[in-house]
Amino acid sequence: MSTIETEEHKALRSAVAALGKRHGRDYDREALWAEAAKLGYLGVNLPEEYGGGGGGISELSIVLEELGAAGCPLLMMVVSPAICGTVIARFGTDAQKREWLPGLADGTRTMAFGITEPDAGSNSHRITTTARRDGTDWLLTGRKVFISGVDIADATLIVGRTEDARTGTLKPCLFIVPRDTEGFQRRRIDMELSAAEWQFELTLDDVRLPADALVGDEDAGLLQLFAGLNPERIMTAAFAIGMGRYALAQAVTYARERTVWKTPIGAHQAIAHPLAQAHIELELVRLMMQKAAALYDSGDDVGAGEAANMAKYAAGEACVKAVDQAVHTLGGNGLTREFGLARLITAARVARIAPVSREMILNYVSHQTLGLPKSY
């Protein structure tokens, strides 16, 4: 695996950066989404036969990172093409692929993803949303929280659990639930976080779904679920890296131009060194993210799982540090609307807690990588 980007990846990065610069931090989400879709960026990871670019998460993460670095990240990219598009492309039926992938690729359709629950968080082993058979249909009942963009999505890919007829235990399964399905209700959560996409609590009250709402094989269980969760972690890392780069760029520009006693404040090591450290850490995180994406795109789900978790953890830490140092560099100006950094103080912490907390990632690495015993 090369750590040097290909010429194609460099060209993609440059083109997306130009798109982001045109829209800037005061971007209109719908307008940017439409233009990114028209240019083929939203579906760059999806199969060519369904209108996608034929690339992978490596290419999609570049798109999200560069938009974030320009101050205009599209959070639904993490959900719609990365999670849902990937799962359907890998495990969906031919009919599901024909129905959903062309729209996800050209941006005319979007899909949300529902896994987090009030009592289980993202722990797939404790999810209480259940699906039971009723003739040829499924009846889905449960609750989800902190689900992004449900109001604008055509459907939500819901993680539920079905009973294994052989063992009686519950296993995770994925269901496509159209937005206006009877019994599928949403309530907007009042968030302090400033973001273009809203968060929702979902209630599923005996939601009746046809047999073909089930994605893939009922017995595949965790395999299908993690096919979506690994790209989610990689894309969250891209989201965080882009945010950190944006904050750092604002701080560097300010440190060059702001003078005290005729000297730019960036000439002082107390200002320069922390910014240099933030840059180094963001660059290191990008390498891990690229490794995770390359492993995933090559079909190494196990290797990608470890690398994706590490990339997501490190990106969250590096992003928070970069944003904090950027605000500190600007002083009072760092809290003004003019520079757009204050809103990132809250937003940066999203990468630490979602879609999985840094503590759960440390659990994963200590158990899966280091072989240490579990405490739970």
- Residue ranges and CATH numbers for the domains of the chain are 7-109 (1.10.540.10), 112-213 (2.40.110.10), 222-369 (1.20.140.10)
Q: What proportion of the chain, given as a percentage, has pLDDT over 90?
A: 84
Structure-token pair, residue 296: 């995933």
In the prediction, which pLDDT does 1 show? 58
Structure confidence by residue, pLDDT tens digits, 212-236: 999 987 776 677 777 889 999 999 9
Structure-token pair, residue 128: 């209480």
Instruction: Write down the mean pLDDT value for the chain.
Output: 93
Rounded to an integer, the average pLDDT of 229-248 is 97
Is residue 350 within 8 Å of residue 295, measured between CB atoms?
A: no
Is residue 65 within 8 Å of residue 246, measured between CB atoms?
A: no
In the prediction, which pLDDT does 338 show? 92
In the prediction, which pLDDT does 172 show? 81
pLDDT at 294 over 90: yes
326 or 302, which is more confident: 326
Structure-token pair, residue 164: 């294994």
Burial of 109 (0-12, 13-18, 19+ CB in 10 A): middle
Rounded to an integer, the average pLDDT of 125-138 is 88
Local confidence band at 264 (pLDDT 50, 70, 90 cut-offs) = very high
Structure confidence by residue, pLDDT tens digits, 194-204: 777 889 999 99
pLDDT at 11 over 90: yes
Bridge-based pairing state of the strands 170-178 and 184-188: unpaired
pLDDT at 123 over 80: no
pLDDT at 3 over 90: no
Lowest pLDDT segment from 60-64, 70-74, 156-160, 166-170:
166-170
In the prediction, which pLDDT does 2 show? 61
In the prediction, which pLDDT does 376 show? 74
Rounded to an integer, the average pLDDT of 33-48 is 97
Local confidence band at 140 (pLDDT 50, 70, 90 cut-offs) = very high
181 or 3, which is more confident: 181
- Distances in Å between the Cα of 204 and the Cα atoms of 136, 158, 161, 213, 363 are 19, 10, 13, 15, 31
The helix/strand/coil state of 201 is strand
Query: pTM score, two decimals?
Result: 0.94
